[in-house]
Chains A and B, each alone.
Chain A
């Protein structure tokens, strides 16, 4: 950032700078701190308390974390949710991003007709509420309505149909793919934009050298958009470890069958707010939220230290 700071502003008198900073940063920092950071800090603070039936709270230090990670009653569902969350993330990385890259690559082919139409249509699902997406897919895959079964039968694959959302073996992957279907537009658009920003001279030079479209894409374009791909990956990571709505709206807070679709978001929700006869436990719920926070932080650090560095080296 320093290189963008002009010399003039660097030499500004202190009082004037302070006034400007207050004016420009004040509103954003105030609202953000009050309604985003403070509630998060309050949640973390709450994770060090426990409450009795009358609602009175007492400080217990890190005991909630010890319970969460040490008591099989809590640690089993926690690790299960974390494992499922990793699968959820892996499906996104292995399907969403390659598909997004492929579509972006096709869309950025020179002289492609109907480009605007394709772009608009493919991004459409991203604009919809997860509640609506979950509900619609639930209807489509429902064994009762038979749309999916009918569609498969029409192409001669009727025997492949199974109640995917209801089977322990396939429910999580099915939900992951629904999520991929919805959000593939984001990597597609970002990578598409990055591809368009590649200077034409580079591509022309490659073409003069006799490279085909395919090789130009893999040898010239792809390496140049690696930083975008890594940004997309990190956005996907954060979004996936915060995910909740889709699984909640399709499978409910118990994330069945047998917790096969339970991810950290639903585990947090169930702990914090309860389910049917299970009472909400705000203090343990806060502990889960705090652990989620550190998992995301850990993921981001790994990314910054290992991935970001290397990409810089290739890209620049």
Chain B
């Protein structure tokens, strides 16, 4: 490497490190201060906790006065079931739209894309009425149905792009052997869609995990609250108690961060294999 190249590479790293700090700083600040005593939080917010200022009182309070574990399990159930259904139904629909020629396919594709443009939130009251007549008030099922409807358009859009990239010969060879269409899909095509999962997850699953609105209006008891709603309620309740506030925020942030760090390799693989262009 020449000196000039080395200098340039150093410059690039300086920029990237600076931006990384900006991206992660606020999160670190919240997490770091959640382990400090109240006076230290206010007195020296930028200092890391030390022996004198370390405190877990906020976390104690979060565990004692909220059903945080129930919230986690609710969020997990809702997110995982929604994700499974969004992927399954989304892939099936994407397959039909890209693979078969039929009258109205363009119109159907347009119809499905409305959901990308318009938030379902605009239809909240109708959704509430439907859930009531179906007897689904205050259930996780209601949330899952709404989230599947909300996630499908984007996942169909992304998965269609993927399916188009699968070599045609692969499926036509199978067809010539007389393999039925459903088997081609489930046994030949579906396994090839695995890299797309991460991409779909980013665009449809993350918003589900983070959603505040539908849990707010569709669930009313502690046993059906999700993490985002539970934390929001908790923040409202203990807004002046910064130990608890910061602890609750950290507890909402950390699981997402951990799962994300574990999956980030797949995410990149999915994106770079050309999902969205």
User: Is there any pair of Cβ atoms, one from A and one from B, under 8 angstroms apart in the complex?
Assistant: yes
B123 at the interface (CB under 8 A from A): yes
Chain B proximity of A21: nearest CB distance (Å): 6
List CB contacts (< 8 Å) of A1-53 with chain B.
1-2, 4-10, 12, 17, 20-21, 23-25, 27-29, 31-32, 34-40, 42-43, 46
Number of A-B contacts (CB under 8 A): 256
Contact status A238-B20, CB under 8 Å: no
Taking residues whose C-beta sits less than 8 angstroms from the other chain, chain A's interface range is: 35 or more
Contact status A35-B102, CB under 8 Å: no
Per the CB 8 Å criterion, the residue count for chain B at the interface is: 96
- Chain A residue nearest to B154 in the complex (CB): A235
A218 at the interface (CB under 8 A from B): no
Contacts known (A34-B149, A128-B253); A28 close to B272, Cβ less than 8 A: no
Contact status B126-A6, CB under 8 Å: no
Q: How far is the CA of A150 from the CA of B25 in the complex (A)?
A: 14
By secondary structure, the A interface counts as helix
Contacts known (A28-B152, A106-B16, A150-B46); A37 close to B114, Cβ less than 8 A: yes
List CB contacts (< 8 Å) of B222-277 with chain A.
228, 231-232, 235, 245, 249, 252-253, 256-257, 260-261, 264-265, 267-268, 271-272, 274-277
Contact status A36-B120, CB under 8 Å: yes
Cross-interface CB contact of B212 among A114, A129, A137, cutoff 8 Å: A129
Name the A residues within 8 Å of B277 (CB-CB).
194, 197, 227-228, 231
A-B contact pairs, 28 of them (CB 8 A): A4-B98, A4-B99, A5-B101, A9-B99, A9-B100, A9-B175, A24-B93, A24-B185, A27-B93, A31-B85, A32-B112, A35-B120, A35-B146, A36-B114, A42-B126, A43-B126, A121-B24, A123-B264, A124-B260, A127-B260, A131-B212, A137-B26, A146-B45, A147-B29, A192-B272, A193-B274, A231-B276, A289-B122
- Which positions in A face B, CB cutoff 8 Å? 1-2, 4-10, 12, 17, 20-21, 23-25, 27-29, 31-32, 34-40, 42-43, 46, 103, 106-107, 109, 112-114, 116-132, 135-137, 139-140, 144-147, 150-151, 181, 186, 189-190, 192-194, 196-197, 227-228, 231, 238, 242, 244-245, 268, 282, 289, 292-293, 296-297, 300
